[in-house]
């Protein structure tokens, strides 16, 4: 059975908006309190009265606010909607168990006496604000959808459970012992429990969330871009013990595989441990000023900047260039007498590279680092004689000239494709992708994927071609020495292959080399 008390008629007696209406309602024994509809409720204390409490309504919003009060006897729920009121509670009444504040409402308590309950559950949502002075053995707080909760505890408390999501904020200050504390934060939620010491803390973070705890022992799960401060170690209370953070933010955390990292391992340059502690001071100041907080804007040691400089190599992209070879380790462009048919048409011979991805590892500097990754290379070697035909004879490579009188040969080439992995050392001035000057050098091991020959000719007036796949005694492994130099996304390269193109003893010793440009992208 529901009993509903409407105060709308009383407000009609108070005139237009801006007038003040006062009404006091004696309350039954309620266990749940719901505050919604942009209501403003302050909790005071009632002495010398046997009832659990009274609700003193002071509404200055006029009849347009449509306030109402409702009590559900079955669930023991008192609902307050769209009014300004003072909830006067008997200090001896401990039956209140659940409080829900939503829809831009506000709840405040008198700091003279705490709100007392053995097991207190509080939910704040939808831009609501709750500031409570409480006394409880077990506290459970949930804040969602940009809500804010600030709690100040009195007396000994055994457990706290703080859940925060959707840009909400929870601050818990309970000076006496907390045996177990559980903090869950997600979606830009922030939990600050540094003033509530605990023996054991369970912390779970998702997304761009942040948790500050004070525990002798902490069991943490961090996923996404979460930040976690532990402000006490086994030697006692301190402000600089442990930090756990997203792998995308700090190399030392990345190397630790999500385990806590000592602050001294995160300090670099001219920063010190005191600078790191400024992080949450700046965070608190922004929250107090009502500013939005983006964790990406914070440097770990408290110094703000738009972007933390880090090393980024330049290899991923597309390569275009000329493919050449020569004898005597590329010192002579003319082939030996028995392989003169392998002379190249250098103007047509070329290469295309697709550098699929890269991994950049900085040497504790945004300027120097190591670059690796994976990619593919295709090369086409066009012969000077368009009727050159490659074949295998007597376990060696034969380069003969076709003499079919019915064919007019147009071109002949040898094509190869490789899978390659770069091993490069690079210097860059770290001015961004479109303004950086970079130089790199190293080696690129490659594995042959495929080789083929192709002859194009005209026969009976029709253009046709012959294409044959085979190894043609091409060396299956290759090692290129390379140098890259460029500005922005454009780089020039030179490649030299000390390993011969064909397998030893199967053909003349030919050394490939090439040059061209790289159009890089990240």
Asked whether 43 and 115 are in contact (CB, 8 A), the reply is yes
**Enclosing domain of residue 228:** 111-306
Do 345 and 232 share a domain, yes or no? no
Q: Is residue 413 in some structural domain?
A: yes
Closest CA to 157 of 210, 193, 110: 193
Task: Provide the b/e sequence for 52-89 (b: ≥16 CB within 10 Å).
Answer: bbbbbbebebbbebebbbebbeeebbbbbbbbbbbbbb
Distance CA 464, CA 243 (A): 69
Do 347 and 457 share a domain, yes or no? yes
Distance CA 208, CA 227 (A): 8
Distance CA 121, CA 162 (A): 10
Strand, helix or coil at 397?
A: strand
- Given this model, what pLDDT does residue 50 score? 75
Do 385 and 504 share a domain, yes or no? yes
Q: Is residue 106 in some structural domain?
A: no
Specify which residues 482 forms β-bridges with: 442, 495
Q: Is residue 105 in some structural domain?
A: no
Q: Which residues contact 236 (CB under 8 A, 6 or more apart)?
A: none
Q: Which of 96, 120, 153 is the last residue of a domain?
A: 96
Do 127 and 247 share a domain, yes or no? yes
Do 277 and 139 share a domain, yes or no? yes
> Cα-atom radius of gyration of the chain, to the nearest Å?
38
Q: Is residue 312 in some structural domain?
A: no
Q: Is residue 503 in some structural domain?
A: yes
- Given this model, what pLDDT does residue 479 score? 96
Distance CA 442, CA 429 (A): 19
Q: Is residue 391 in some structural domain?
A: yes
Distance CA 8, CA 20 (A): 13
- Given this model, what pLDDT does residue 222 score? 64
The model's pTM is 0.47
How many folded domains does the chain comprise?
A: 3
Query: In terms of DSSP bridges, do strands 317-326 and 350-362 run parallel, antiparallel, or are they unpaired?
Result: antiparallel
Q: Is residue 248 in some structural domain?
A: yes
- Given this model, what pLDDT does residue 328 score? 87
| Strand ranges (E), 223-264 | 227-233, 236-244, 261-262
Do 85 and 118 share a domain, yes or no? no
Asked whether 238 and 230 are in contact (CB, 8 A), the reply is no
Do 476 and 422 share a domain, yes or no? yes
Do 417 and 328 share a domain, yes or no? yes
- Given this model, what pLDDT does residue 128 score? 94
CA distances from 383 to 164, 352, 498 (A): 70, 18, 22
Distance CA 147, CA 391 (A): 78
- Given this model, what pLDDT does residue 371 score? 95
Closest CA to 382 of 355, 339, 335, 349: 349
Do 86 and 121 share a domain, yes or no? no
Element (DSSP H or E) covering residue 409: strand 407-420
In the chain, which residues have pLDDT < 50?
1-20, 62-64, 233-280, 282-284, 286-308
Phi, psi at residue 368, to the nearest 5°?
A: -115, 140
Do 50 and 115 share a domain, yes or no? no
Q: Is residue 101 in some structural domain?
A: no
- Given this model, what pLDDT does residue 225 score? 59
Specify which residues 484 forms β-bridges with: 440, 493
Query: In terms of DSSP bridges, do strands 148-153 and 350-362 run parallel, antiparallel, or are they unpaired?
Result: unpaired
Strand, helix or coil at 11?
A: helix
Q: Which of 306, 332, 366 is the last residue of a domain?
A: 306
Q: Which of 65, 96, 127 is the last residue of a domain?
A: 96
- Given this model, what pLDDT does residue 10 score? 40
Do 57 and 138 share a domain, yes or no? no
Do 471 and 353 share a domain, yes or no? yes
């Amino acid at each position: 059975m529901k009993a509903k008390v409407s105060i709308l008629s009383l407000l009609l007696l108070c005139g237009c908006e801006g007038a003040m209406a006062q009404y006091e309602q004696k309350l039954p024994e309620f266990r749940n309190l719901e505050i919604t509809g942009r209501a403003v409720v302050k909790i005071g204390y009632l002495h010398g009265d046997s009832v659990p409490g009274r609700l003193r309504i002071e509404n200055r919003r006029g009849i347009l606010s449509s306030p109402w009060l409702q009590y559900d006897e079955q669930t023991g729920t008192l609902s307050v909607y769209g009014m300004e009121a003072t909830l006067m509670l008997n200090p001896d009444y401990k039956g209140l168990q659940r409080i829900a504040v939503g829809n831009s409402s506000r709840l405040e308590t008198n700091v003279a006496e705490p709100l007392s309950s053995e097991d207190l559950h509080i939910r704040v949502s939808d831009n609501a604000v709750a500031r409570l002075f409480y006394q409880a053995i077990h506290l459970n707080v949930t804040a969602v959808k940009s809500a804010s909760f600030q709690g100040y505890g009195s007396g000994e408390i055994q457990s706290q459970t703080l859940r925060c999501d959707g840009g909400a904020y929870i601050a818990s200050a309970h000076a006496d012992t907390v045996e177990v504390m559980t903090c869950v934060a997600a979606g830009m939620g922030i939990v600050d429990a540094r003033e509530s010491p605990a023996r054991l803390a369970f912390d779970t973070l998702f997304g761009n969330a942040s948790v500050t705890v004070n525990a002798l022992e902490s069991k943490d799960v961090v996923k996404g871009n979460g930040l976690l401060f532990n402000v006490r170690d086994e030697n006692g209370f301190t402000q600089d013990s442990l930090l756990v953070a997203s792998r995308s933010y700090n190399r030392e955390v990345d190397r630790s595989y999500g385990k806590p990292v000592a602050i001294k391992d995160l300090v670099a340059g001219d920063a010190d441990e005191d600078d790191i502690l400024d992080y949450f001071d700046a965070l608190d100041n922004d929250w107090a000023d009502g500013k939005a907080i983006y964790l990406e804007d914070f440097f770990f040691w408290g110094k703000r900047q738009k972007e933390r400089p880090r090393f980024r190599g330049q290899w991923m992209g597309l390569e275009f260039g000329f493919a050449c070879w020569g004898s005597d380790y590329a010192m002579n462009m003319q082939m030996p007498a028995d392989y003169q048919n392998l002379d190249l048409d250098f103007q047509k011979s070329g290469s295309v590279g697709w550098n699929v991805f890269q991994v950049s590892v900085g040497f504790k500097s945004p300027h120097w680092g190591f670059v690796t990754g994976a990619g593919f290379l295709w090369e086409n070697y066009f012969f000077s004689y368009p009727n050159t035909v490659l074949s295998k004879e007597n376990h060696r490579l034969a380069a003969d000239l076709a003499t079919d009188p019915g064919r007019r040969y147009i071109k002949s080439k040898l094509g190869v494709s490789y899978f390659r992995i770069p091993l490069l050392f690079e210097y860059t001035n770290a001015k961004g992708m479109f303004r950086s000057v970079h130089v790199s050098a190293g080696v690129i091991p490659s594995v042959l994927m495929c080789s083929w020959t192709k002859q194009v000719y005209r026969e009976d007036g029709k253009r046709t071609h012959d294409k044959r796949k085979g190894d043609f005694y091409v060396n299956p492994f290759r090692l290129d020495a390379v140098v890259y130099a460029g500005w922005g996304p454009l780089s020039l390269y030179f490649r030299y292959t000390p390993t011969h193109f064909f397998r030893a003893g199967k053909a003349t010793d030919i050394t490939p080399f090439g040059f061209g440009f790289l159009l890089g992208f990240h």
